[in-house]
C-alpha cells in the first residue's frame, strides 16, 4: 500500500470540481462541490447522532436506503438546518444535479455546512451548476477544488488517497474532509466524502464504514460540540475489476486497512486544523483491560479543556491527564498508570504507577513546544489499546467563535 495524490479522484471513474457560486460573500472562497462517478456505485454513510439534524442528512439517508449513489453535491456557507423548507431545498439540489449530470435524483448524496438557521437560497446553486459540471475533472486538481469548496473555518484543505492490491488487482481509495470546529466524538463529527474503485457489496461497504468510524472519526475531538450536519459517505464503483467482496476474508481486510489508512490520515488533518489550534494532540492508550476502557480513557484525555490549555502553554501538567482518566468513568487501577509526553524532540516520562516522578521541566518544555504532541498513557492492565486525536485550546478559538455567525 502506498500514499498517492488524487483525493476523491484517485479511484478510477470519479470526477470532481469546486466553484464559488455565491452562497458565501467572499468571492475568493469556493462554496459548491460536486463528485460524480461514471457508473452507479454502491454507497454507505454514517450520520451525526445529534437529535437536531440538517435537512441534507435526512434527504441523503432516504436516497441511500437502496445502497446506491452516483453523485455527491455539497455547499459551504449555509448548513440548511432548522429551516422550514430545508428538505425541499436539499431535494431540489439533488434534482438539479440529476438533470445536468444525467443521473437518478435518488442517487445523489446531498450535504451542507455552515451557519445554522439561515434559509438556503437555491438560486446561486442553480446558477453555479453549469460551470461546476463543465469543470469536472478526474485529476488531482478536481479533487483539490472539491476539497476547498467544502471548507468553512478550515485553514487547509484535507485529502488523502492510497493505492493497494486486492486479489492481485490494483485498487484505489481516497477521501476529502472538512472540519475545524464543532467536532466531538459522537459519530462522524464533520463532513467526509470517500471514493473507491473497489468492487464491494453495499452490505459489506456499510459494515466497513460503520466499523471504521468507531476507531477513527469517533476518536476526534476539537471542542466537545457535536454538529448537526456531520456525515461520512463512501461510494464504491467497482471499476478496479477485483472479484466482488461479499463476505469477511483477506480481501475485506485489505479493504479495511486501506480505508483505515485514509480515515486516520484525515483524522490527523482535522485535529491539527482545529479552530485556533497550534498543535496536533494524539493520545495513545495501551495496556487496557478492554477496548472500551482504552477508547474511553483516550477520548477523556483528548477532550480535557485543562489539558488542551496546558499543551498550548507547553506545560507538562501530567496531573490533568490523571484527572481526565479519573472522571472518564473507565474502571482503571490508578496505581498502575504511567504517563509520558513525546514529540520530534524526544520523550519525557512524567508519571509512574499513578505518581509523579522527577523530570526536567526544561526538556519537557522543549518537547511540548513542537506542533505534534503524543500523550502516552499505559494502564498496565491488559493488551488493548486505542488512539484519540485533538488539538490545543487557544485564545483564537474564542475569537473565531465569538463572531462566527456575523
Q: Which residues are catalytic, by number?
A: 189
287 dihedral zone (left: phi>0; alpha: psi -120 to 50; beta) = left
Say how far apart CA 298 and CA 246 lie, in whole Å.
Answer: 33
To the nearest 10°, the Cα dihedral for 292, 294, 296, 299?
A: -140
Burial class (CB within 10 angstroms; exposed 0-12, middle 13-18, buried 19+) of 27? exposed
End-to-end Cα spacing for the chain: 45
The DSSP secondary-structure symbol of 121 reads: P
In total, the chain counts a number of residues equal to 406
**CA-to-CA distance for 285 and 117, rounded, in angstroms?**
39
Helix orientation angle between 202-215 and 250-272, rounded to the nearest 10 degrees = 40
Query: What gap in Å lies between CA 60 and CA 71, rounded to an integer?
Result: 11
Nearest to 203 by CA among 396, 42, 403: 42
The DSSP letter of residue 330 is: -
Q: Which residue has the cell 469536472?
A: 136
| Whether the Cβ atoms of residue 237 and residue 14 lie closer than 8 Å to each other | yes
Amino acid at each position: 500500500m502506498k500514499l498517492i495524490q488524487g483525493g476523491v479522484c484517485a479511484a478510477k471513474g470519479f470526477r470532481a470540481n469546486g466553484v464559488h457560486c455565491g452562497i458565501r460573500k467572499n468571492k475568493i472562497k469556493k462554496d459548491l462541490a460536486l463528485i460524480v462517478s461514471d457508473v452507479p456505485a454502491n454507497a454507505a454513510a454514517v450520520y451525526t447522532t445529534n437529535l437536531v439534524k440538517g435537512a441534507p442528512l435526512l434527504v441523503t439517508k432516504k436516497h441511500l436506503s437502496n445502497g446506491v449513489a452516483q453523485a455527491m453535491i455539497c455547499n459551504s456557507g449555509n448548513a440548511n438546518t432548522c429551516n422550514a423548507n430545508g428538505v425541499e431545498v436539499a431535494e431540489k439540489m439533488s434534482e438539479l444535479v440529476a438533470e445536468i449530470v444525467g443521473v437518478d435524483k435518488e442517487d445523489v448524496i446531498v450535504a451542507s455546512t455552515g451557519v445554522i438557521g439561515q434559509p438556503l437560497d437555491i438560486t446561486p446553486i442553480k446558477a453555479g451548476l453549469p460551470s461546476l459540471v463543465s469543470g469536472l475533472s478526474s485529476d488531482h486538481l478536481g479533487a483539490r477544488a472539491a476539497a476547498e469548496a467544502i471548507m468553512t473555518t478550515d485553514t487547509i484543505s484535507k485529502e488523502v488517497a492510497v493505492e493497494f492490491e486486492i486479489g492481485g488487482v490494483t485498487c484505489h481509495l481516497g477521501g476529502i474532509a472538512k472540519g475545524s470546529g464543532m467536532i466531538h466524538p459522537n459519530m462522524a463529527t464533520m463532513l467526509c466524502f470517500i471514493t473507491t474503485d473497489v468492487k464491494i457489496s453495499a452490505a459489506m461497504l456499510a459494515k466497513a464504514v460503520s466499523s471504521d468510524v468507531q476507531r477513527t472519526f469517533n476518536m476526534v475531538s476539537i471542542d466537545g460540540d457535536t454538529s448537526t450536519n456531520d456525515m461520512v459517505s463512501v461510494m464504491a464503483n467497482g471499476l478496479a475489476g477485483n472479484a466482488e467482496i461479499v463476505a469477511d476474508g483477506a480481501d475485506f481486510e485489505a479493504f479495511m486497512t486501506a480505508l483505515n489508512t485514509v480515515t486516520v490520515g484525515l483524522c490527523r488533518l482535522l485535529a491539527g486544523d482545529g479552530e485556533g489550534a497550534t498543535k496536533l494532540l494524539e493520545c495513545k492508550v495501551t495496556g487496557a483491560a478492554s477496548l472500551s476502557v482504552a477508547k474511553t480513557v483516550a477520548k477523556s484525555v483528548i477532550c480535557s479543556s485543562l489539558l488542551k490549555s496546558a499543551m498550548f502553554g507547553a506545560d507538562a501538567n501530567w496531573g490533568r491527564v490523571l484527572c481526565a482518566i479519573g472522571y472518564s468513568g473507565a474502571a482503571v487501577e490508578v496505581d498502575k498508570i504511567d504517563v509520558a509526553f513525546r514529540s520530534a524532540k524526544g520523550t519525557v516520562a512524567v508519571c509512574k504507577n499513578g505518581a509523579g516522578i522527577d523530570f526536567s521541566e526544561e526538556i519537557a518544555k522543549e518537547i511540548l513546544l513542537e506542533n505534534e504532541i503524543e500523550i502516552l498513557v499505559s494502564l498496565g492492565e491488559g493488551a488493548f489499546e486505542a488512539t484519540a486525536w485533538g488539538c490545543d485550546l487557544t485564545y483564537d478559538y474564542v475569537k473565531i467563535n465569538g463572531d462566527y455567525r456575523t
